[in-house]
Structure 1
Amino acid sequence: MENKRKFHIDGEKIRDLDGFFREVARHLFPDIPDRDYNFDGLDDMLGGGFGTPENGCVLFWDNHHLSRACLGYEETVRVLERRLNRSHLSARNEIMKQIRTAKRHDGPTIFDEIIEIFERHKPVDDNSYSVELRLR
């Protein structure tokens, strides 16, 4: 970790999913124009080639407990409803099922999905472009 760049995002600045994307982009991808970020885009950017340091980095998520609350079931329902409005007809039944599950406070939250994406990019052996997430 000593030769890897270190970045900090602050959970106090993250109130919703868009705020999370803005905070991460501000630190990890400052040269990418502000746009409508999404999970697929985050996954691609963490994979490298978009500004992620070639030898990997460590991202400290300070006050993550505040973000966990803001990115919980209420935000999950909001994001899923927005996704439903943009989705193809073939995906709507699955999204509606996810909305019902989130409204019951069951299943993964937006926070959980973010953690899962970062888990896919954690360092493995000599993996350049890896991003190690540390919750603090």
Structure 2
Amino acid sequence: MNTSNKNNKKTAVINGSHFSDLSGFYEEVSTVLMKDADWKVGTLDGFDDILYGGFENKDELEIIWKDSQKSTEDLGFEATKVFYENKIKQGKPFNIDLAQENLDDLIAGNGQTLFEILVEIIESHKKIMLILK
């Protein structure tokens, strides 16, 4: 993580050119946000958890997401559809009804893509500022 001492703000750069799917995103954020940790992000909830403070979130954090347009496409409709279909196929411990509802919403044009979900997770944290580049 690039750190700067201005106003106790840290900066982290997620590079969309480093990955093309959700597991690649998890690898990228694990490398960028949790260099010294002995575990890696592997779920949406896990990603949210590290933003809550699993990695020294006492200061403000600025996340710069480079090549975010590539990520918008890589983590868009098709990847999200496969994500929910896999949850439905796998079943437990996943909530199949919720996954089906999310998939139906996505297909109807009302649901969020994985990219939109990740952005929403980041933006739900008051001490984190997201810059899409």
1:126 corresponds in structure 2 to: none
5+ residue gaps, structure 2: none
With a CA cutoff of 8 Å and minimum separation of 6, indicate the structure with the bigger relative contact order.
Answer: 1
Give the superposed CA RMSD: 2.3
Calculate percent identity across the aligned residue pairs: 27
5+ residue gaps, structure 1: 124-130
Matched positions, count: 128
The CA deviation string for residues 78-122 of structure 1, in whole angstroms up to 9 with x for no partner, is 111222234448932231232233234441100111011111113
Determine helix, strand or coil for the equivalent of 2:95: helix
In the alignment, structure 1 residue 65 sits paired with structure 2 residue 77: no
TM-score between both structures, scaled by the size of structure 1 = 0.81
Determine helix, strand or coil for the equivalent of 1:47: helix
**Of 79, 99, 102, which residue of structure 2 is paired with 1:75?**
79
**Of 24, 27, 30, which residue of structure 2 is paired with 1:25?**
30
TM-score between both structures, scaled by the size of structure 2 = 0.82
Runs of 4+ in 1 over 4 A off after TM superposition: none
Letter in 2 for 1:132: M
The CA deviation string for residues 10-45 of structure 1, in whole angstroms up to 9 with x for no partner, is 111120111111111111111223546111111111
How has the CA–CA distance of structure 1 residues 118 and 36 changed in structure 2, closer, same or farther, with 3 Å as cutoff?
closer
| Stretch of structure 1 that moved more, 57-66 or 79-88 | 79-88
